Every structure is written in C-alpha cells, then in structure tokens.
Amino acid sequence: MNALHFDSLVWHWPIAIYLFLAGVSAGAMFFAVLLKHVCLKEQAYRSGFVQAACIVAAVSVLAGLGILVLDLTKPWDFWKILVFYNPTSVMSMGVLILLIYQVFMYAWIAVVFRKPIEEWCQPRFPIVCKITTMLAKYEAGITGLLIIFSVSLGAYTGFLLSAQPRFPMLNNPVLPLLFLASGLSSGAAASLLGGVLLKGSPNGQEVRFIHRVEIPLILGEIFLIFTFFMGLVLSGGQSKVAALNAIGEGFWGLIFWFGIMGLGLSAPLAMNLFMNATSKRKFSYVAGTACLSLLGVIMLRNFVLYTGQMVVS
C-alpha cells in the first residue's frame, strides 16, 4: 500500500494541517491565560510571549478555518455550515465552538491589551475605549469561558476524527485526549518560539514557567500515545490490525518512531529537563526545542489521519 495514496483515504493532509492549527490556537490561548494569571498579572501586555501567543492564536485559527473552507468541494457554500446546524454532528458543534471561542479570544485580547489599545484609541476612536472598559468589567467571566472553549476546541480536533464507526483506529476514546494534550503543547511551543522572536528574554520567568508545565505535559502525551495503541491492540480484531499497521514497518512507522517519539517528544523532553537543571536558556535552545515540538505535533496529526484511514472496520 502506498503511504500517501490509497483507496480508503478520504481526508488528506489539509485536514491534518487544520487540526494542527486549531490545536495550536487553543494551546496558545490556554498558555497566554496561564501566563497572565500565574506570572505576569497586569503587566502581561508587555511580555513578548503573551503578545506572540495572542498573535499565533488569532492567526492560526483563521488560517485553519481558511484551509478548511478551501478543502470543501464547494468552497463558496461554506456559509451553509454557519447557517444549518446538526446537533449530532461533531463538525457542526465544532464550528459552533470555533465561533464562540473566537469571540472570547478577541474579547480577552482586548482586555489584556487594554492599556496600549486605549492609549492609541483615546484621541482617535473614543468609542473603542468604552467597549474595552465594559469588557474589562467582565474579565473574570471572559477568562473562564475562554479556558473552557480553548480546551473544548483542543478536544474537538480529536472528536472530529473519532466520531465515526468506519475506521477503528480513529474511533478511539483516547484520541481527543491525545490531541488536546498535543494541541496544548504545540500552543506552548508556538508561544515560546514567537516570544523569543519578538525579543522576549529566553531566560525570562515566562519561559521558565512554560518549561515547567511542558515536562509533565510531554510525559502525559507519551502515556496517552501508549494507552492509545495499547487499547487498540487489546481490542483485537481490526483495531489491532490498524494499530500494528501504523507503528510497524514502513514510511509511517519511521515517522512514528523517529519523528514523533524521537524528535517530537523525547528530544524536547530532554532539552526541557536540561534547561531546567542547568538554567542555561539561550535563544537557540528555546527556539530549537519549540521547533521540534511543533514539527512533532504536525507529524502526529498527519500520522494519525493517514494511518487511521488505512484499515477499515
């Protein structure tokens, strides 16, 4: 069987990129909120990492939606997804989550960057200041709902693939958890990468905080991947065939063992432990580790999407 073209393949790589971007956005927003509330408080808007997280979250969710629309066979009819809803469809509910998520995302960004926004708008568009003042009153609620919807969005990327009976490897209850965990870690990596590029200090408190969270997150991801495949093998039947086909020999086996387990998870874990132990944090270390994490998550999405569609129930 060709690794990239086979009969049962329905959804191609653009869907994997979309799942990746949605996860990055959810993860970046999640960590932006954590950074503000745990480390930075009212000074959050000055931090390059929070700025990067907000830019990444806003751009990637729009880019993901763009890819999703272009991948339709009728791109001009995409508005029908926004008008007609089906409560049993994970995709339909996901669109709803995406829309609400974006509302709270922009509201939260407006609240956090209230000072620079108000300074710039006061002489030009005083009405904007009224809106930000009003939003600031509800900051607690906006933050809470943003966290709920970013976690929902991260999990949705997994539920989208698992909500069908045809492919046993995708129809797996661990998949949403795995995609949520890897989405959060990709969001953290994207914030770190963007932060150091925006002249954030590679040894700042933000980096130290994210690295501390990332270590258990990566360990959790490895455990979820183990559970994912263990569950498939123990289910027997086509689930077992699908699991062994995915992580066995061949192109995707290589991607899994060297790309995902090696470069995407073990290497960043080792680098994070090293940086924590020695407190040596250079631009190149932080950026390199973040790039590896992001690459690993892109590979994981493609790996799951393609190998998942190889074996039919």
Partner 1 sequence: MENSRRHFLKSTCALVAGVSVYPLSRDQANADTGIRINNLKYAMLHDETKCIGCNACVEACREVNHVPEGVTRLSIEQSGPYGKYPNQYYHFSRHSCQHCEDAPCVNVCPTGAAFIDKENGIVSVNADKCVGCQYCILACPYDVRFINPVTKAADKCDFCRETNLKQDKQPACVEACPTKALVFGNLKDPESELVMLLKANPTQRTKLDLGTRPKLFRITAKQGEIIL
Where do contacts with partner 1 occur on this chain (CB under 8 A)?
8, 10-11, 71-74, 77-78, 80-81, 83-93, 95, 140-141, 144-145, 148, 152, 163-167, 309, 312-313
For partner 1, give the closer residue by CB, 144 or 248.
Answer: 144
Cβ nearer to partner 1, comparing 83 with 134? 83
CB of 111 to partner 1, least distance (A): 15
| Residue 144 C-beta: closest distance to partner 1, Å | 5
Cβ distance to partner 1 smaller for residue 138 or 258: 138
If the CB atoms of residues 4 and 219 are measured against partner 1, the closer one turns out to be: 4
Residue nearer to partner 1 on the CB measure, 94 or 296: 94
Interatomic CA distance for residues 6 and 24, integer angstroms? 29
> Per the structure block, which two tokens stand in for 124?
């030009």
Shortest approach of partner 1 to residue 145 CB, angstroms? 6
Residue number, 42 or 119, with CB nearest to partner 1 = 42
Question: Are the beta carbons of 231 and 240 closer than 8 angstroms?
Answer: no
Residue 161 Cβ vs partner 1, minimum distance, rounded to whole Å: 8
* Closest approach of partner 1 to the CB of residue 241, in Å: 15
Q: Least distance in Å: CB of 87 to partner 1?
A: 3
The nearer residue to partner 1, 85 or 120, going by C-beta atoms, is 85
Q: Which one, 10 or 270, has the nearer CB to partner 1? A: 10
List CB contacts of 277: < 8 A, sequence separation 6 or more.
none
In this complex, which beta carbon is closest to partner 1, that of residue 168 or of residue 296?
Answer: 168
Torsion of CA 92, 98, 101, 103, to 10 degrees: -100
How many residues are given for the chain? 313
Q: Least distance in Å: CB of 223 to partner 1?
A: 25
The least distance separating partner 1 from the CB of residue 134, rounded to whole angstroms, comes to: 18
b/e for 119-139, b at 16 or more Cβ within 10 A? eebeeeeeeebeebeebeeee
Q: Rounded distance, CA 98 to CA 92, Å?
A: 10
CB of 74 to partner 1, least distance (A): 5
Nearest by Cα to 150 from 273, 269, 32, 311: 32
Nearest-angstrom CA–CA distance, 281 and 273 = 11
